Amino acid sequence: EGGRAAALAIFVCIAAPGETASGAHDARDVAAGHGVAHDARAVRSIERWLALGSPAGRASSMDEDVDRVVTLRTTGSELAFEPARLSLETGTRVRLEYVNEGVLPHNFVLLKSEDDLDALGAAAYEAEATGYVPVDRADALIAYTALAPPGETVSVTFEVPAPGSYTFVCLFPGHYNVMLGTLRALNPARR
Ligand code: CU
């Protein structure tokens, strides 16, 4: 399992924005050379994305008037959000800034229900034109950023939903099984 993730990381690293589609073929060779399986579906999806000019899509932002600014980041070749847990009061208007200090492209997608994770992860493979956000399933999403290339910051503003626990995820191909976090929406404090 770890080997598979490493192979995907190698692949995506080589096929990062700015690379040509031939980089994807090189990546297949790299993955094969490591003797580990890789996700052929992710390879095809990323090849299509490269052929389109690596579109970033766009964030689902509401108005810019916010109560809180929250920063998440990723560093190096990690497939992780830091922090991976957020706690915010329901109704808080948040600007979430996602700082990509990693070597791979990533996005931040907040789901209404974790039950949709597998379906959305699968749909994202076909969503290369919209920065790997399946916008035709927007009913299942609370908020999402554009795709952040390595070294860039993207943001989105949204209102923290009803009390409960919500999953956020990166939907770049090959990441959604591991690059996950949780937003706890808390009952507003009584004053
Ligand atoms: Cu990612």
DSSP string covering 14-72: HT-TTS-THHHHHHHHHHHHTT----HHHHHHHHHHHHTT----------S--SEEEEE
Distance from the CA of 137 to the center of ligand 1, in angstroms?
19
Distance from the CA of 163 to the center of ligand 1, in angstroms?
26
pLDDT given at position 33: 38
Distance from the CA of 67 to the center of ligand 1, in angstroms?
27
Residue type, 156: V
Distance from the CA of 65 to the center of ligand 1, in angstroms?
28
pLDDT given at position 180: 96
Q: pLDDT per position in the chain (191 positions), as tens?
A: 344 444 444 445 444 444 443 444 444 443 443 333 357 888 889 889 999 999 999 999 887 789 999 999 999 989 999 999 999 999 999 999 999 999 999 999 999 999 999 999 999 999 999 999 999 999 999 999 999 999 999 999 999 999 999 999 999 998 999 999 999 999 987 65
Distance from the CA of 62 to the center of ligand 1, in angstroms?
23
Distance from the CA of 35 to the center of ligand 1, in angstroms?
23
pLDDT given at position 190: 62
pLDDT given at position 23: 44
Distance from the CA of 71 to the center of ligand 1, in angstroms?
16
Distance from the CA of 191 to the center of ligand 1, in angstroms?
39
pLDDT given at position 31: 40
Do 58 and 138 meet the contact criterion of CB atoms below 8 Å apart? no
Distance from the CA of 89 to the center of ligand 1, in angstroms?
26
pLDDT given at position 34: 35
Distance from the CA of 107 to the center of ligand 1, in angstroms?
6
Residue type, 64: E
Q: What share of the chain is helix, strand, coil (3-state, %, to 5)?
A: 30, 30, 40
Distance from the CA of 104 to the center of ligand 1, in angstroms?
7
pLDDT given at position 29: 44
pLDDT given at position 191: 54
Distance from the CA of 159 to the center of ligand 1, in angstroms?
23
